[in-house]
Structure 1
Amino acid sequence: MADTNPGNLDQAIGFHQKGRLKEAELIYRSILEKKPDHPEALHLLGLIAYQTGNIPEALELILAAIKHKKNESRYHYNLGFVLEASGSQKEALSSYWAALQLEPENTKTISRMQHLGQNDPHLWLSLGNHFFRIEKHEKAILNYQKALELNNDFVPAHINLAAMAERLGQGEDLILSHYEKAIELMPDSIEANFNLALFLENSGKVDSALKIYEKVLKLDPDQAAANYCVSNIRLLKGDFENGFKTYEWRTRMADWVKNYPAFIFEKKQWTGEQFYGKTLLIHDEQGYGDTLMFVRYIPLVKKLGGKIVFVSRKPLFNLLKHMPGIDVLMERSNDPMDYPGFDFYVFLLSLPKIFNTRLETIPADIPYITADPNIRIELKNKIETPCVFKAGLVWAGQPKHRNDRNRSIPLEQFKPLLEMKDIGFVGLQKGERSGDVNHLILKDSFLNIGEACLDFSDTGSVILNLDLVITIDTSVAHLAGAMGKEVWVLLPFNNDWRWLENTDQSPWYPTMTLFRQTRPGDWESVIKDIKEKLLKRFR
């Protein structure tokens, strides 16, 4: 006779696996007499009910198990299996979805879902979206393609397949064919039109993109993302008057708003009025480069009033603590108790609009950021070189940046510069790409000291001891430019709006020279141009 000790669940499972269902059932029930909410006993007893043909009891028991342990993928999967057997396909799919959220790559769950929805393009689309969310891009594509096999007029599948192909850098013709097919089938699809416009903008075809964004805004004038993208194109073209006005739409985008504490928005937004005797909170936004670029406006704000609290991030503190106009420098926080009292708030990148900035009125009193020239001894030792001319180098940005695939450059491509005899190069690279140095083969050693720089103040001190900085479009470009150091910036074909079009100079930074790609992905010719300019300097 079976041992019905409530603690002997393993013995019951052993009986269950051997097909000795009656003996397993006795132990499961004995366990439940002692502990009615035991989730595993409920679940396994439910499986026995299913195996013996009692589907109603199986459903009741497995649902009870889920009630007591909601995050167990097996329970949801087996509930789906029993529901499927009962003919409740819609409910079964819901249970499989619940299981998949808990184990996103469970092939057994995915297989059951594909079997159940084998003729349903919506199911294949949803699975594609699931794989996209977990960054299994090739699987996402396969599921979108299956949706189109079932219904080639399925607009969402065309849109998502185009977006996926774009993300993976697949052919432009393929991407355009899916967007154009979607728009042919649904001319007023805001999603299809917006995504096509965004693709064209990212491909550098900004005039074509602008026309489609304008179509989107005729369909929905309050579409925040489209308004924001239009602002970027206007700014790129130097139309600062309209560009900065439209740029305010960024503050209505969900992805932007969630980055900032909600209680800030309860105060009145500052719009440029005098505020003597009151306190204004200026909050930084976006990346470090954006902060370094636009803190130039803070002294102008200070002329209009009282106390300024500037909210920023710790790595910038030592650099900004003596910035004119900042009375209180505080770190970002979501806790209202961390903030001093303030009367108004404004976000940093709203200041150009408030001050009616035009190309000819950009506040470019350089330098507006200074660093300590007394570089830390451990850093000073690292930049010692027999070469008279020293240049800093940054080759990659934050991988999560939306345009990083286009703006970052493999370090290997800089070899023609790094092998120049008259220049001592110093790497200023931080982050995961700093390890690229370990895979670089050069005649002479190249030292990257970016990781040894504890914050932007350290980086600034190093820059003061260099003759030139060569960098991609990242925060170091803004730091060097704000300090008045000569800086050469390599720009992708689809460059950010702040670098404008068709110019090798920046009105934001008088000591900056821009080197632009003439076709997407071609860094070789850009680096060749830089090398030629360096060679001219030493002739």
Structure 2
Amino acid sequence: MTDVTALEAEGNALLAAGHPEQAEQRARRLLASGSMTVTSFHLLALSVRAQGRIEECRDILGQMVERLPGNLTLRFELAETLLMLGDFERGWREYHHRYGMPHTASLERKVQKPRWDGRPIPGKTLLIHDEQGYGDTFQFLRMVSWAKQRSQARVVLQINLDQKGFAQRSAGADALVLRGELPPPFDVHCEMMSLPMAMGLTLSDLPGACPYLSAEPARVKRWRRRLARLPRPLVGLVWAGRPTHLNDAARSVTLDTLAPLGMPGVTFLALQKGPAEAQAATPPPGMRIERLGDEIADFEDTAAILSLTDLLISVDSSPVHLAGALGRPAWVVLPFVPDWRWLLEREDTPWYPSLRLFRQDRRGDWSGVVTRVASALAGVRDERRDPLSDRAPRRGV
């Protein structure tokens, strides 16, 4: 007799340890034995997903959701899978369930007014509130002006303090209120990342007008003085995301991993914040790096620096979205199975015309990615050295 619970636990442990092939074997053994538990099917879905078989994962999750429509964790995972495949129509509908899971239920804002459904509501007030991470807000701030135009309403945007300045300089909101403050009276509301569902966002709608955010002029002036003595090209560098992110182990690297990028004629600006910033004190040999972490007080400083650099090279993190929203060139290094917003098998992104994507060819292998980035970077450096070349950095580099 098969010990279902033991095999499921073993499979999940293998998956967590980065061995999805073995985890898949356990899942299929369970299913062959007649185990039809949610855990067994879920283990199979996550195992094939980790191996990059995204369509197969979608099909398994789709079957599970048909049988268990009340399992919102499955519906959220299906949403991210659909969005990764570019199926926005169903993906945004399923993404609505992101606050129905045990670990996210406390994050949902309990609003005693109806959610906007995308229809015109002239004469009414629409409250749009930000949510989730900083990168999400940078990415979806573009839709506030779209919602203003579609709804024909007065728009009040509720936003966190760290990103208030960007919202003030962007179009769309008639009034701003900080997160945690009592908003003025409103008729309907919408979470920022529910705007795609309400408005029926499709890939063809992207990117919209870019750039749609701007840096604060006074900060740009100050950072221009700070960076003036450094030889170009100036390349911003971010090698680690927020450590508490669920997928941080897959997306973040160490500075030493990026050692092949160190080459004569390139000045790197360490924009890294958090615990990983300390790695800039001992950069890899041959990497000229200027530590800026202690001088960067907030995203306004980051935006000003990005406005002055030739390029940003970064893991999947909030500065990437800020660079894209500012229309600044950035190269993003992505794990084998990326976050849903980067889609699959493409070097560009419909969200940001100025970004270029470098993807892992094999799970966990950063060496190939870094080698390709280093080769492309050498081309940028050499172009700058060419006296006949255009001195301005190209769009997307």
Inter-partner Cα distance in structure 2 for 1:340 and 1:515 = 44
* 1:196-211 → structure 2 map (5 Å cutoff): 196-211=44-59
Matched, 1:267 2:101: no
Deviation track 1:49-70 (CA, whole Å, cap 9, x = no partner) reads xxxxxxxxxxxxxxxxxxxxxx
Inter-partner Cα distance in structure 2 for 1:369 and 1:456 = 12
Deviation track 1:348-382 (CA, whole Å, cap 9, x = no partner) reads 11111222222212242100000124436774565
Between the two proteins, what is the percent identity of the paired residues?
Answer: 31
Matched, 1:420 2:266: no
Kept after mapping to 1: 8 A contact 2:240/2:315: yes
Unaligned runs of 5+ in 1: 1-151
Matched, 1:158 2:7: yes
Residue aligning to 1:447? 290
Kept after mapping to 2: 8 A contact 1:155/1:186: no
Match among 226, 230, 234 for residue 74 of structure 2: 226
Inter-partner Cα distance in structure 1 for 2:125 and 2:6 = 51
Matched, 1:479 2:326: no
2:88 maps to a residue whose letter is: F
Tell me the TM-score normalized by structure 2: 0.89
Residue aligning to 2:386? none
Inter-partner Cα distance in structure 2 for 1:177 and 1:363 = 41
Kept after mapping to 2: 8 A contact 1:318/1:456: no
Inter-partner Cα distance in structure 1 for 2:354 and 2:220 = 25
Matched, 1:372 2:180: no
Residues 199/258 of structure 1: CA separation in 2 closer, same or farther (3 Å cut): farther
* 1:279-318 → structure 2 map (5 Å cutoff): 279-303=125-149, 304-318=151-165
Inter-partner Cα distance in structure 2 for 1:488 and 1:352 = 26
Residue aligning to 2:364? 521
Residues 173/515 of structure 1: CA separation in 2 closer, same or farther (3 Å cut): closer
- Structure 1 residue 173 displacement after superposition: 4.1
Inter-partner Cα distance in structure 1 for 2:290 and 2:140 = 31
- Structure 1 residue 443 displacement after superposition: 4.1
Inter-partner Cα distance in structure 2 for 1:195 and 1:381 = 54
- Structure 1 residue 444 displacement after superposition: 5.7
Matched, 1:323 2:170: yes
Residue aligned with 1:519, SS: coil
Residues 241/444 of structure 1: CA separation in 2 closer, same or farther (3 Å cut): closer
Residues 399/199 of structure 1: CA separation in 2 closer, same or farther (3 Å cut): farther
Kept after mapping to 2: 8 A contact 1:431/1:451: no
Kept after mapping to 2: 8 A contact 1:159/1:179: yes
- Structure 1 residue 495 displacement after superposition: 0.8
Deviation track 1:63-105 (CA, whole Å, cap 9, x = no partner) reads xxxxxxxxxxxxxxxxxxxxxxxxxxxxxxxxxxxxxxxxxxx
Kept after mapping to 1: 8 A contact 2:99/2:107: no
Residue aligned with 2:370, SS: helix
Residue aligning to 2:388? none
- Structure 1 residue 486 displacement after superposition: 0.9
- Structure 1 residue 254 displacement after superposition: 3.5
- Structure 1 residue 315 displacement after superposition: 1.4
Residue aligned with 2:189, SS: strand
- Structure 1 residue 457 displacement after superposition: 1.2
Match among 338, 351, 354 for residue 198 of structure 2: 354
Q: Which moved more, 1:215-224 or 1:500-509?
A: 215-224
Inter-partner Cα distance in structure 2 for 1:158 and 1:451 = 48
Kept after mapping to 2: 8 A contact 1:429/1:451: no
Kept after mapping to 1: 8 A contact 2:235/2:310: yes
What RMSD over aligned residues (CA atoms) do the two structures have, in Å? 2.2
1:292 maps to a residue whose letter is: F
Inter-partner Cα distance in structure 1 for 2:250 and 2:271 = 20
1:339 maps to a residue whose letter is: P
Deviation track 1:160-219 (CA, whole Å, cap 9, x = no partner) reads 3322332233x3343234333443445321122113212322332212212221231233
Kept after mapping to 2: 8 A contact 1:364/1:509: no
Inter-partner Cα distance in structure 1 for 2:373 and 2:288 = 21
* 1:35-50 → structure 2 map (5 Å cutoff): none
The structure in which a higher percent of residues are helix is 1
Q: Which moved more, 1:376-385 or 1:501-510?
A: 376-385
Deviation track 1:432-475 (CA, whole Å, cap 9, x = no partner) reads 11112134343465223134222211110111111111111111
Inter-partner Cα distance in structure 2 for 1:218 and 1:483 = 41
Residue aligned with 1:350, SS: helix
Inter-partner Cα distance in structure 1 for 2:368 and 2:27 = 32
Kept after mapping to 1: 8 A contact 2:20/2:50: no
Match among 12, 20, 24 for residue 176 of structure 1: 24
Kept after mapping to 2: 8 A contact 1:228/1:246: yes
1:372 maps to a residue whose letter is: E
Query: How many residues of Structure 1 are paired with residues of Structure 2 in the alignment?
Result: 381
Residue aligned with 2:136, SS: helix
* 1:429-468 → structure 2 map (5 Å cutoff): 429-443=272-286, 445-468=288-311
* 1:377-416 → structure 2 map (5 Å cutoff): 379-380=223-224, 382-416=226-260
Residue aligned with 1:282, SS: strand
Kept after mapping to 2: 8 A contact 1:450/1:459: no
2:295 maps to a residue whose letter is: A
Kept after mapping to 1: 8 A contact 2:213/2:325: yes
Residue aligning to 1:501? 344
Residues 165/384 of structure 1: CA separation in 2 closer, same or farther (3 Å cut): farther
- Structure 1 residue 227 displacement after superposition: 2.0
2:308 maps to a residue whose letter is: N
- Structure 1 residue 384 displacement after superposition: 4.1
Inter-partner Cα distance in structure 2 for 1:356 and 1:522 = 37
Deviation track 1:488-534 (CA, whole Å, cap 9, x = no partner) reads 11111101121111111111111111111111111111111111112
Kept after mapping to 1: 8 A contact 2:24/2:43: no
Residues 448/185 of structure 1: CA separation in 2 closer, same or farther (3 Å cut): farther
